[in-house]
Structure 1
Amino acid sequence: MFASSRRVRLLTSALTAAALLGVAACSSGADAGTDAATTAGYNLTADQNRITTDPVEEIAAKVPQEIRDRGTLVVTGSAGTAPPLRFYADDDTTIIGSETDFAHLIGNVLDLDIELTAADWAQNFVRVDSGEADVFISNVTVTEERKEKYDFATYRLDSLAVEVGKDSGVTFDGPEDIAGLTIGVGSGTNQEALLVEWNEQNVATGLEPAEILYYQNAVDYYLALGSGRIDAYVGPNPTSAFHVLQAGETEIAGTFSGAGLDLQGEIAVLTKKDNGLIQAINEAINHIIENGTYAEVLERWGISNEAIEVSRINPPGLPKTA
C-alpha cells in the first residue's frame, strides 16, 4: 500500500486532470478547496461530509426486528483499494468511495447506523453466510448462481473494462481478442467467469489460449501490468477509468457489460436469501433515486453514466456457465 502522502498526491493529480476533462463535477457532499486532499469535488480525507437523507419510517419498519433492535447495519466489502468505488482515505484507515456513500444513504433511510468492514473478495460471501455481516456492498454483480444463495437489490449498472499499457497495441472488441494474452483478474469475480468461458470458447475454435492470472489487490495487478507480467487487466470500468487518469501509463482497450455480451449487468446490494432484509433495502434505494440524493452520489464520484432508473429485486443476472 502506498504511503498516505504518496497516494494523496497521485489521487489529487488524477482528479485535477478529471476536472480539466470535464468528467467530474463538484457536489454539495464534498467540501472542495479546503484541503490539499480535496480536489475537483472529491474529498479524500477521513472527514467525508457525506450526502445524507432523512429516515423514512414506513420503510425502516420493514427491517427485521433483530437488526432494528441492534440499530446497526453491518456492511462488508472489498479490502483492496479501488477508487472511486471503495478505497482508503488519506489516513489509510477510513474506507470511503461511492459504495460506502450508498451504504450510508441506505442506512439513513432505514434509520440505522452503518458499520463498515472489509475483507478479501471471497471472504465477503462467507461473512454474509455466517451472519457476521448483514449485506455485501462492493461492486457485486447479480448472477444466476449467486441468486441461489443470496437476494439482490440493484443500484448501479455494471460495466467492465480491459485496461492495458499505453500504446501496447492491444484492442478489445469481443471474446476472440483475449486469445494469446496474459490477463489479470480478481479471483471469484464475475469477470473471471466471463474470461474463463470466453477462453474455453476460443480454444474450442482453434484460437490460442489466454493465460489468466489472479489478483486480490489493486497494487498487485497494477504492478504486474506496469512491469509487463500481464498484457491486460479486466476489472470495474469506474476503477480503470480512474486509474488511467491517475497513472497516465495505461489506457482502456474496450468495455463490456458485467453480465456478458448479451445482457446488461447490474450492481446490487447482496444479502442472505430470505432473511427479510431485501425488501426494505430495495425500497430505500428507490427512495434515494426519487429524492435525488442517489444522483448526487453518482455525480460526486464521476460515475453518473452508471445510473439506473429503478432498483429491482433479483433481476436476470449473469448466466451460469456450463
Structure 2
Amino acid sequence: MHSRRTALAAALALLTAAPLLSACGGDSDAATGGGRPGTKKVDSIDIGPDQHRVRGRKVGSIAALVPAKVRARGTLRLGGGADSTAPLGFYATDDKTRIGSEVDLAVLVADTLGLKPAFEQVSWENLFVGLDSGKFDGVFGNVTVTEERKEKYDFATYRLDNIAFEAKKDVDWKVDGPADVAGKSIAVSSGTNQEKILVDWSKQNEKAGRKPVDIKYFQKDSDYYLALQSGRIDAYLGPNPSAAYHVASAGQTKIVGRLSGAGDALQGEIAATTKKDSGLVDAYAAALNHVIKDGSYAKVLKRWGLSGEAVKTSRINPPGLPKP
C-alpha cells in the first residue's frame, strides 16, 4: 500500500508537469500538508513534525468548570476530522504526526483545563456519532454552528467560518452571489454547509430563470484538484483556510470569491462541539476566552495564516446557520 506522500505525489504529477510545492491534504490517504520530500515549510507555515506548539498553563478556576468525571480521568477525549485539510488538521512531513490549527487550539484549551488531550481522527459523520455515544468529550474539527446541530450539541466558538471558491489561476471570473455560478460546474463536499449554500444558490438561480449549478462530488481532495486543473469543473467550494493554503502551496489556483459559511444573512462561526448538556461547554468557552485574552490564541492563528478569522470572544451557542 502506498504511503500518503506517495499518493499525493502521484496526484500532483497528473496536475502539471511543472514543479509544485504541494497540494493540500484531504479526505483520503493523501492527507498530508504537501511539499516535496525534505520540505519543512509551505509558504511561511511549518509542516514538519517538530511543531514547537504554543502551549498554555492550567487555570484552576477554569479547570474547576470541567465535570468531575472528566477531571478524574485526566484526559480530554477529542475527535478530529480524518478528512480535514491543511492547515486545519493534516499529517506532517513524517506522515504520522497530526498537526494543524485545530490540533493546536485543542491542545491550548486542554492545557488551560489541566487535562491531557487524547485525539482520534475519524470520518466527518463519525465525529457526531462519537459525541452521541460519549466516546468524545468534544470535537475540534471545523464544525460550524447551525440551528439544527444546536438541538443535539453545545458550541463554544473559536473562529469565523468563511468559505471560498477556488478556480484556475488564469480565469477572469469572480463570485459575489448566485448569478455568478449559474450554469457553472462547481465541486463541493457532501454533507457540508457549503453544499447547503450551493444547493440553495442553485435553487435561487432556477427560480430567477437562470441555469442551475452543476454540482459535482468527488471522494478525495486530489480528485477535486485534478478535475479543476483538467477543466472538468469551474471551481471548488470549500473552507477558506484550506483553499488559501492550497493557493499558497500549489501556485496554480486563486480565490475567486469568499463568503460566510452561514450564508448571506449571518457570519458563521466555527466552534468546539460537545454533546448537549454534557457540562463541558462552559469550560471550553472559559478556556478559549482566557487564551484569547492572554494572546496565545492569536499566536496559534498567526502561525497557520488564519489571523483574519479570529473571534473577539468565544460565544456559547450563538445564532447558527438556519435550518433548511
Normalization by structure 2: what TM-score?
A: 0.87
Equivalent position SS for 1:170: coil
Q: Which amino acid aligns with 2:123?
A: D
Equivalent position SS for 2:86: coil
- Displacement after TM superposition at 1:317 (Å): 0.8
- Displacement after TM superposition at 1:11 (Å): 5.2
Mapped to 1, the partners of 2:104 and 2:313 lie a distance apart of: 18
Aligned residue in 2 for 1:312: 315
Q: Which amino acid aligns with 1:307?
A: A
1:153 equivalenced with 2:156 (yes/no): yes
Equivalent position SS for 1:128: helix
Mapped to 1, the partners of 2:320 and 2:41 lie a distance apart of: 37
**Is the Cα contact below 8 Å between 1:80 and 1:216 reproduced in 2?**
no
**Is the Cα contact below 8 Å between 2:166 and 2:254 reproduced in 1?**
yes
1:62 equivalenced with 2:65 (yes/no): yes
**1:224-267 per-position Cα deviation (integer Å, ceiling 9, x unaligned):** 22222221111111111111121111111110011101111111
Q: What does 1:151-190 align with in structure 2 at a 5 Å threshold?
A: 151-190=154-193
- Displacement after TM superposition at 1:190 (Å): 0.8
Mapped to 2, the partners of 1:62 and 1:314 lie a distance apart of: 17
Q: What does 1:90-129 align with in structure 2 at a 5 Å threshold?
A: 90-129=93-132
- Displacement after TM superposition at 1:202 (Å): 1.2
**1:273-302 per-position Cα deviation (integer Å, ceiling 9, x unaligned):** 111010000000000001110010011111
Q: Which amino acid aligns with 2:87?
A: P
Q: What does 1:1-322 align with in structure 2 at a 5 Å threshold?
A: 1-3=4-6, 36-38=39-41, 42-321=45-324
Query: CA separation of 1:161/1:92 partners in 2, compared to 1, >3 Å: closer, same or farther?
Result: same
Mapped to 2, the partners of 1:125 and 1:12 lie a distance apart of: 31
Mapped to 2, the partners of 1:10 and 1:112 lie a distance apart of: 40
**Is the Cα contact below 8 Å between 1:110 and 1:280 reproduced in 2?**
yes
Query: CA separation of 1:216/1:109 partners in 2, compared to 1, >3 Å: closer, same or farther?
Result: farther
Equivalent position SS for 1:3: helix
- Displacement after TM superposition at 1:198 (Å): 1.2
Equivalent position SS for 2:195: helix
Mapped to 2, the partners of 1:225 and 1:47 lie a distance apart of: 33
**Is the Cα contact below 8 Å between 2:43 and 2:248 reproduced in 1?**
no
Query: CA separation of 1:119/1:170 partners in 2, compared to 1, >3 Å: closer, same or farther?
Result: farther
**Is the Cα contact below 8 Å between 2:155 and 2:271 reproduced in 1?**
yes
Any gaps of 5 or more consecutive residues in structure 2? 13-18, 25-37
Query: CA separation of 1:215/1:273 partners in 2, compared to 1, >3 Å: closer, same or farther?
Result: farther
Q: Which amino acid aligns with 1:273?
A: K
**Is the Cα contact below 8 Å between 2:59 and 2:114 reproduced in 1?**
yes
Mapped to 1, the partners of 2:182 and 2:23 lie a distance apart of: 35
RMSD across aligned C-alpha pairs, in angstroms? 2.1
**Is the Cα contact below 8 Å between 2:185 and 2:215 reproduced in 1?**
yes
Any gaps of 5 or more consecutive residues in structure 1? 15-34
Equivalent position SS for 1:2: helix
Equivalent position SS for 1:312: coil
Mapped to 1, the partners of 2:175 and 2:221 lie a distance apart of: 21
Mapped to 2, the partners of 1:204 and 1:247 lie a distance apart of: 37
Q: Which amino acid aligns with 1:115?
A: A
Query: CA separation of 1:166/1:281 partners in 2, compared to 1, >3 Å: closer, same or farther?
Result: same
Q: Which amino acid aligns with 1:77?
A: G
**Is the Cα contact below 8 Å between 1:51 and 1:297 reproduced in 2?**
yes
Mapped to 2, the partners of 1:240 and 1:197 lie a distance apart of: 21
Mapped to 1, the partners of 2:73 and 2:282 lie a distance apart of: 19
Q: Which amino acid aligns with 1:233?
A: Y
**Is the Cα contact below 8 Å between 1:81 and 1:217 reproduced in 2?**
no
Q: Which amino acid aligns with 1:210?
A: V
Once the two structures are overlaid, the 10-residue window that deviates more, 266-275 or 128-137, is 128-137
- Displacement after TM superposition at 1:36 (Å): 4.8
Equivalent position SS for 1:259: coil
Mapped to 2, the partners of 1:4 and 1:294 lie a distance apart of: 34
Mapped to 1, the partners of 2:319 and 2:276 lie a distance apart of: 16
**Is the Cα contact below 8 Å between 2:39 and 2:93 reproduced in 1?**
no
